[in-house]
């Protein structure tokens, strides 16, 4: 093997084995760089005889070209391999199903509260609030509920604990939203138009009752507010809430200590094939209690009954949600609500309004 064959073997092997571009560059410099082995050999040509120079020069040129070509080819091969590896790593199967994302949903009770609030806001009712742990006075006395009234008995009301030595009556978990009437009257006086949505508590548990449920109270006081105003407000509310063009309401004489006269209100409906339809048919369904605010209640709220009068009503929000969205069992709210929340698609808020501003 002559010297050039040794060089050739050395560089071509080196190139074949190079695993990265930096190694190739090193080989290039070692062979073809200014001080590379081939370049030095080229420089020696000057000291050779013309014949020697011709053969060695030609051979050196061939070798130089061979190494150069091998370097280029290997460089390209390394780049290709790198690209292949990258493509393999970045491979993406666009036919895979998407990753499921958890979407938050709005609970039907919250949605109905928002719907109710929006509808009454259109009729000029503001939202009033009160505590869920309420004093005996606000929950009962101020609402003209006498101490011997059955609503006060232990089996209906959750009483808070009191020190045995403390003579004051225990606080209660409010049994209705009506105490908010008193608080609102005390706060703003008359005239007033408020609704009070919120949680209420009674010791009761079966398919249609839960110990905690939700009510919305309404109170409207003015100089000449009458039951006719009550009827119009309720009709507008029911049409908008149930999304029907007309409704028929029936006022049944009733008794509440805090209203006089009092009426329970039924709505005309049909139950054909187990499907509830509001506004048509031959059945009546009770939806709320109402009446003209009792003078004693106005007085408890610091309002002069000789000057002011008006109506109040209270209705169950859970029940409204069940009726509107066809939920058969109140316990669905607590035990399996996720299942049917999704079924009913409670993801977005779509608020109906009386005057059509937000609806459709």
Give the residue numbers of the binding site.
260
* Residue whose CB is less far from ligand PHE, 242 or 313: 313
Closest CA to 121 of 11, 17, 197, 35: 197
Least distance in Å: CB of 305 to ligand PHE?
Answer: 16
Among 291, 301, 310, 352, binds ligand PHE (CB under 6 A): 291
Q: Is residue 256 at the binding interface for ligand PHE, with CB under 6 A as the rule?
A: yes
x/- site string to ligand PHE, residues 123 to 162, per CB under 6 A? ----------------------------------------
Window contacting ligand PHE (CB under 6 A); options: 67-75, 99-107, 274-282, 309-317: 309-317
Where would I find the beta strands (DSSP E) of the chain? 126-127, 133-134, 172-173, 192-201, 212-222, 249-256, 259-270, 277-278, 283-293, 309-316
The structure tokens listed for 356 are: 């059509």
* Residue whose CB is less far from ligand PHE, 111 or 215: 215
SS3 sequence of 66-123: HHHHHHHHHHHHHHHHHHHHHHHHCCCCCCCCCCCCCCCCCCHHHHHHHHHHHHHHHC
* Residue whose CB is less far from ligand PHE, 56 or 290: 290
Q: Is residue 178 at the binding interface for ligand PHE, with CB under 6 A as the rule?
A: yes
The structure tokens listed for 68 are: 């150069």
Least distance in Å: CB of 313 to ligand PHE?
Answer: 5
Q: Is residue 309 at the binding interface for ligand PHE, with CB under 6 A as the rule?
A: no
The CA–CA distances, whole Å, from 139 to 135, 166, 212, 310 equal 6, 19, 16, 20
Among 290, 310, 318, 330, binds ligand PHE (CB under 6 A): 290
Q: What is the footprint of ligand PHE within residues 207-226 (CB under 6 A)?
A: 217
Q: Is residue 198 at the binding interface for ligand PHE, with CB under 6 A as the rule?
A: no
Least distance in Å: CB of 103 to ligand PHE?
Answer: 35
Residues in the chain: 360
| Cα distance between the two ends of the chain | 93
Looking at beta carbons, which residue is closest to ligand PHE?
314
The structure tokens listed for 311 are: 């109506």
Task: Write the DSSP symbol of residue 161.
Answer: P
Distance CA 53, CA 5 (A): 17
The structure tokens listed for 10 are: 């050395």
Distance CA 67, CA 29 (A): 11
Least distance in Å: CB of 238 to ligand PHE?
Answer: 16
* Residue whose CB is less far from ligand PHE, 217 or 318: 217
The structure tokens listed for 86 are: 């990258």
Least distance in Å: CB of 316 to ligand PHE?
Answer: 8
Residues that bind ligand PHE (CB under 6 A): 176, 178, 217, 256, 259, 289-291, 312-314
């Amino acid at each position: 093997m002559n010297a050039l064959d040794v060089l050739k073997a050395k560089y071509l092997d080196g190139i074949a084995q190079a695993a990265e571009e930096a190694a190739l560059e090193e080989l290039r410099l070692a062979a073809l760089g200014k001080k590379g082995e081939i370049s030095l050999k080229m420089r020696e040509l000057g000291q050779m005889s013309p014949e020697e120079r011709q053969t060695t020069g030609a051979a050196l040129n061939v070798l130089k070209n061979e190494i150069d070509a091998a370097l280029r080819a290997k460089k390209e091969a390394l780049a290709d391999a790198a690209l292949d590896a990258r493509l393999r790593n970045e491979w993406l199967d666009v036919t895979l199903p998407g990753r499921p994302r958890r979407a938050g949903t709005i609970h039907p009770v919250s949605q109905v509260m928002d719907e109710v609030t929006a509808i009454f806001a259109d009729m000029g009712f503001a939202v009033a609030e009160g505590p869920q742990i309420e004093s005996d006075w606000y929950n009962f006395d101020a609402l003209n509920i006498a101490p011997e009234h059955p609503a006060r008995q232990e089996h209906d009301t959750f009483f808070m604990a009191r020190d045995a030595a403390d003579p004051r009556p225990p606080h209660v978990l409010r049994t209705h939203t009506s105490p908010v009437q008193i608080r609102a009257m005390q706060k703003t006086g008359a005239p007033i138009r408020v609704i009070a949505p919120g949680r209420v508590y009674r010791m009761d548990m079966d398919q249609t009752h839960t110990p905690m449920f939700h009510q919305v109270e309404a109170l409207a006081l003015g100089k000449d507010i009458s039951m006719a105003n009550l009827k119009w407000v309720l009709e507008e509310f029911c049409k908008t809430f149930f999304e029907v063009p007309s409704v028929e309401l029936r006022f049944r004489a009733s008794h509440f200590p805090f209203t006089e006269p009092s009426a329970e209100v039924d709505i005309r409906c049909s139950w054909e094939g187990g499907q509830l339809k509001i506004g048509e048919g031959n059945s009546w369904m009770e939806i709320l209690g109402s009446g003209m605010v009792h003078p004693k209640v106005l007085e408890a709220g610091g309002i002069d009954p000789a000057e002011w009068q008006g109506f109040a009503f209270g209705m169950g929000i859970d029940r409204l949600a069940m009726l509107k969205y066809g939920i058969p069992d109140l316990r669905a709210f607590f035990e399996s609500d996720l299942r049917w929340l999704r079924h009913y698609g409670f993801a977005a808020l779509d608020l109906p309004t009386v005057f059509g501003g937000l609806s459709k």
